[in-house]
Amino acid sequence: MSELPQFEPTSKMPDDSLGRLHRQPEPSVTPNPGAGGVEPSPTGGGSAEEAPLTAPLAALDRTVLFVNREQSWLAFNRRVLEEAQDPTNPLLERVKFLAIASTNLDEFFEIRVAGVMELVDAGLQGENPDGIKPQEELDRIRADAHAFTADMHRTWRDHLRPELAKVGIEFRPVRQMTVGQQRWLDAWFEREIYPILTPLAIDPAHPFPVLLNKSLNLVVLLHDPRQPRRTQRMAVVQVPRTLPRILRLPEIDGQRIHVFTADIVQENLRMLFPGLEVLHVSTFRVTRDSNLEVDEIQATDLMSSIEKELVKRRRGEPVRLEIDSGAHPEVVERFLKAFGLEMDDVYLCDGPVNLGRILELYQIVEQADLKDPPAQPRRLWGWTSADELFSDLREGDVLLHHPYDSFATVEEFIRFAARDPRVLAIKQTIYRAGSKNPLVDSLIEAAQLRKQVTVVVELKARFDEEANIQSARRMEQAGVHVVYGIVGMKTHAKCTLVVRREDDGIKRYCHLGTGNYNPGTARLYTDLGLLTARADVGEEVAETFNMITGYTRVPQMEHLLVAPFTLRDKVLQLIRNEIEHRKAGKPAGIRAKLNNLADPQIIMALYEASRAGVPIQLCVRSVCCLRPGVPGLSDNISVVAIVDRFLEHSRVYQFENAGNPIVYLSSADWMVRNLDRRVEVAAPILDPELKKRVMDEVLGLALADNVKARRVLASGKSVRIERRADEPPLRSQVALLEMTMRQPETTPEGGVSDPQKRRKKKKVR
């Protein structure tokens, strides 16, 4: 087989925040429009008039080969918004999806858009794999984001708010409330809000204040009646973050009303500016560049350096101004000058400026009929002692599929290991631990019991830096050996290693997963975890930790794939193997479930496999830069995306391998940053029963979903899958939840899972 076209990153890649610019070399062959340099059909499958793409891949224009990453992400967030617009979802779940879409967009501007704007301002001409220049990319983002912002507010104004009112959850302007309600609000304002407000004048003696990132503010135009000339004054009032964003009034006059705190402040501005006439008020907030710029090579204290950058994040360069749609033109003009923005960076809001704050409504309204039914994870493993736990693991691997399987099993694994006198050492990676994490408590307890505890804490886990720093300090004070990984890379792998002294010698026990060691997100994200006592796997996990904490380069391993050393090359080789199997007439195929697919080399390899006739089925939740269904290029590739009550987060790769499938679970998506600039681990599922469970339960159900799945088109957009009239509905997450309600003695695939029965079923190690 001919070598695949290479799309290597430059030797010095930008920081993770600038990962959008994979500066790739231009194809060596001039694109030939007549040989297939055409725009794929916007419907995704290629029209009958389209000629198949028959030219070599390196000869095709990049806009044909790749979807723009940022526009693919915006298409993903539109799927989230569609869930807010879907009347089949419970009403408060729709409110939650709207809030998520809004906060997703915030982070997109803070990181992705900020990076593109930096490149435009610097005049850099780096390129995305699709060949789009930064200025053109920024123009496209702005157009899509303006339309998306308008759609979000339309969803709230025209759909969710009226439907909430129908079920007794009403939002009402303060001026439209009854006298009794207004009196209650006045008293609340004077008691709870007024004491912590600070008006900030803006004039030659008071320069424009530095407003915190995403803080909610009111801009006020004022007039002093004592002045002979009608001179307008300007002031800003920040709505304190310590206040709830939504206030629920007690039942007065037979009504239960909700009001936004910003509206209460707005109606009481006269108390802040006595003697002045309020001419105009608008709500606004500024989104700032939140990328951290830490030189790890020069930094003598990485933790302190990151803490300093976190302070700067709150006051980074402005990238977006959101303001009421009725804002006074003079206000907008002054803000543009103060923030150094263009009119295209102004997003007019017909409703609450920060729609993310309506998530509070989901939390304060306790009406079960307006939410999804509670999900109770199953507990197939309930060990009573460390000996019982480790005995079961010696008899066979344990696969956990969260949140359907309880994360408490992982917590027990760490807790029993911490307290077991036979355990000598525990090693773990932490990427997003969150606050008040029982696993961190167990690691601290283990150190206090004089075990050797080493924890790799990723201080640069975006927006979790502060929580990780606090956890790291707590562990260091308790005697845990805390390290921060490899300079220039994030440690994104999810691994735990327990070293135990037993009667026949030292044994290793491992947990390898796709998700973070975070009990909170484990209830909200779908993830896989593998507990194993396999000696060969344990040895390779130990070598991986030695590589992270020391200077050792990971050697070639039989089982684990470790980025940035072997993971990419092995995946490419496995794709090539499927091509060879197909040519030899053997069973061939590729199935994968990912969060993101953006790596040019892997996408090109998948195109080659598709051209060779290898069937490829992908489930990609978010960014997908591959164009599926293009004649002559990706006819044999289908891509679906699922947005449902749980965030699809597990990464699984399956290669048919001539009828003997190879299946990996991994912490890594197929992206340049994961494969080249992070420490990642992919672990094979070796137990035949567990392998079948992953193929059927994780991949099979996701790829068969016809309720919450969308078909991703060649244009990068997506459409809901249409069921045939005789086809029963299959919602993969509901099917998995129903499995958790079955008797625990038997798994959905018929494999024995009950611990008592498993102990009778000895396995050869």
Taking each helix axis from N to C terminus, what angle separates 567-583 and 600-611, rounded to the nearest 10 degrees?
A: 10
Instruction: Report the DSSP beta bridge partners of residue 238.
Output: 217
Q: How far is CA 343 from the centre of its chain?
A: 30
Q: Strands 246-248 and 257-260, how do they pair?
A: antiparallel
Q: How many CB atoms lie within 10 A of CB 43?
A: 13
Write out the catalytic residue numbers: 492
Q: How far apart are CA 238 and CA 354, in angstroms?
A: 14
Q: Which residues contact 687 (CB under 8 A, 6 or more apart)?
A: 396, 397, 399, 763
- Residue 234's closest CA among 252, 208, 254, 253? 208
Please state, in angstroms and rounded to a whole number, the distance separating the CA atoms of residues 765 and 537. 11
CA–CA dist 240, 534 (Å, integer): 54
- Phi, psi (5° rounding) for residue 643? -125, 120
Q: What is the residue-wise DSSP string for 518-587? A: -TTGGGTEEEEEEEE--HHHHHHHHHHHHHHHSSPPPPP-SS-EEETTTHHHHHHHHHHHHHHHHHTTS-
Task: Kindly report the number of other CB atoms within 10 A of residue 25's CB atom.
Answer: 10
Q: What is the CA radius of gyration of the chain?
A: 28
Give the helix ranges, DSSP H, for 133-282.
Answer: 134-154, 161-166, 179-188, 261-267, 269-272
- Tokens coding 668: 């890594």
How far apart CA 481 and CA 456 sit, in angstroms, is 9
E-strand stretches of 437-524? 452-457, 481-483, 490-491, 495-502, 505-513
Q: Which strands sit side by side in the sheet containing 318-324, from one edge to the other?
A: 199-202, 232-238, 217-223, 277-288, 318-324, 346-349
Q: Which of 129, 155, 139, 131 is nearest to 77 (CA)?
A: 155
Handedness of CA 264, 267, 271, 276 (dihedral sign): positive
The SS3 assignment for 271 reads helix
Task: Report the DSSP pairing between strands 678-684 and 709-712.
Answer: unpaired
Following DSSP, what letter does each residue of 64-110 receive, concatenated? HHB--HHHHHHHHHHHHHHHHH-TTS-HHHHHHHHHHHHHHHHHIII
CA–CA dist 233, 278 (Å, integer): 10
Task: Indicate the SS3 state at residue 368.
Answer: helix
Helix (H, G, I), strand (E, B) or coil at 381: coil
Give me 149's structure tokens: 């912002």
What is the distance between the alpha carbons of residues 137 and 122, in angstroms, rounded to a whole number?
Answer: 15
Cα gap 128→62, rounded to integer Å: 9
* DSSP type of residue 170: E
d(C-alpha 496, C-alpha 533), whole Å: 12
b/e 154-193 (16+ beta carbons within 10 angstroms → b): ebbeebbbeebeeeebbbbebeebeeebeebbeebbeeeb
Write the burial class of residue 445 (CB in 10 Å: 0-12 exposed, 13-18 middle, 19+ buried): middle
3-state secondary structure of 111: helix
